[in-house]
A and B are shown apart, each in its own frame.
Chain A
Amino acid sequence: MPRLDFEHHLQNLQEELLILGSMVEKAITRSTDALKNRDLALARQVIAEDLNINRKRYDIEEMCIQLIATQQPLARDLRIIIAVLNMIVDLERIGDHAEGDAKIAIMIGDEPPLKPYIDIPRMAEKTNEMLRAALDAFIKRDAEAARRVIAQDDEVDNLYDQVFRELLTYMADDPKTISRATRLIWVAHNLERSADRVTNVCERTIFVITGKVEEQGVSKY
């Protein structure tokens, strides 16, 4: 006997989570584009839209509270709601990282780029790819897919290493680049942290499926 009304709410909750995920993905893409193209208007838009991400997170939290208070969810239903409650925190924080990158894009402003941006956009693409796959694994309740996403975090870590080393050589060669290079390291660091938070989302998916909260491997950073 299905619980039609409850199932509907639970479905709706997960759809809202996907919407939050797509808002965050867009923020990552746009903040990186703003940096790459020195598009300050776009950067300002990312900053402004972060409010929507925050609002969406609290709306979803409210939905979870309502469901817990009125439907007394148990077992897997309860785990799904608890997982969503945790995932929205990570997603919102990724949004904050993207907002941080947009602010850095504004700080760098019109200054000429140190070099063509290659690895930072690559980090952003990889993070977004992980984010999409993580949410897909959650919706499909696929623990193996979630574990595969976690394994991809190493690629982002390696890109971060590369960016860091490269910028360090710029700074060593020419102290005038220190300010710009440091800011770019912050951007790379934000992306690295975002990918870490995607792995948290995956851990919650594994929790929904297995009922166990287990750390799946510690990130290098």
Chain B
Amino acid sequence: MDTMTQTMKAIANTTEHKHILITENLRAYYGSFLAVKDVSMAIEPRSITAIIGPSGCGKSTLIRCFNRMHEVVHGARAIGKVLLDGSDIYAPGVDPVNIRTRIGMVFQKPNPFPTMSVMENVVAGRRLSSVWSKRSEMDEIAEKSLRQAALWDEVKDKLKQSGASLSGGQQQRLCIARALAVQPEVILMDEPCSALDPVATLKIEDLMRTLAKDYTIVIVTHNMQQAGRVSDMTAFMMMGADRAGSLVEYGRTQQIFTNPKNKRTEDYISGRFG
């Protein structure tokens, strides 16, 4: 049994929770280029999992495989299994749009729809995913999502203003509200704070901790202190000699940051390469 499998088994044994998201030998390609190699990991529900690693190691590609966003890129494909609540999201006949409503995503740069108001932005995802709701119900969902995203108090008087009129941090929380409005089970965040100042960053981190009571969050971050501050579990990825990214170590954040088992993890988190 290799170390990775042992680690996974150990994690599975130490938790009573059923894993919400499980990948088995997941490989991601861009054309013939193998970008992510054989990732097997199990993600706990209602927790925050951080994926860290040097640039180009496949972190973003990996999480984009979690909700079938990877295949949106021309020539990109994923092989292996990604089980959401036990069902393979890559099984024939599975609608990727449906998967993306269950596994939402927040990107590096806040990307509210500039021509839409704050309110329209929040419910846009719900409209786009063809979930029909009454106006009053939409309002209710919008308010609830904005409250969950800790943005309501700041925008309740400017719901009709353009989403682009908000500050960077507010825009990012608006994008989180938009993701929440479709009531996903998992929220993927790809460097959600890299374009934000430290105060806005800490607000997002606080928000993530609150959201983790109800949602499963997977975050890709370059900021190791952020991974240390917010996450319950940390996965460390690295690029091999073949340039394919793979999972080097996966464990409780506390363990990874104080006593990593793998020398490469130790070197990376203590700033000795990468």
Contact = CB atoms under 8 A, between A and B. Distances in A.
Say what secondary structure dominates the interface of chain A: loop
A74 B257 CA distance: 6
B229 to A, nearest CB: 11
Interface in A75-99: 75-79
Given A74-B224, A75-B266, A3 B258 contact: no
Contacts of A3: 270-272
Interface string B250-272: 00000001111000011001111
Most buried by A among B224, B260, B271, B272: B271
B273 interface: yes
Given A72-B225, A76-B266, A1 B258 contact: no
A78 B272 contact: no
Interface extent on B, as a size class?
Answer: 10 to 19
B269 A74 contact: yes
A211 B251 CA distance: 15
Contacts of B258: 74-75, 78-79, 211
A175 interface: no
B272 A79 contact: no
Contacts of B260: 75
Contacts of B265: 75
A77 B270 contact: yes
A75 B253 CA distance: 11
Interface residues of A, number: 14
A40 B259 CA distance: 49
Given A2-B272, A6-B271, A75 B225 contact: no
Contacts of A77: 270
A204 to B, nearest CB: 14
A77 B228 CA distance: 15
A117 to B, nearest CB: 46
Interface of A: 1-3, 6, 72-79, 211-212
Given A3-B272, A77-B270, A211-B258, 18 more contacts: A2-B272, A6-B271, A72-B225, A73-B270, A74-B224, A74-B228, A74-B257, A74-B258, A74-B269, A75-B258, A75-B269, A75-B270, A76-B270, A78-B257, A79-B258, A79-B259, A211-B259, A212-B259
In the A-B complex, the 8 residue pairs with the closest CB atoms:
A211-B259, A74-B269, A1-B273, A75-B266, A75-B270, A77-B270, A74-B270, A3-B271
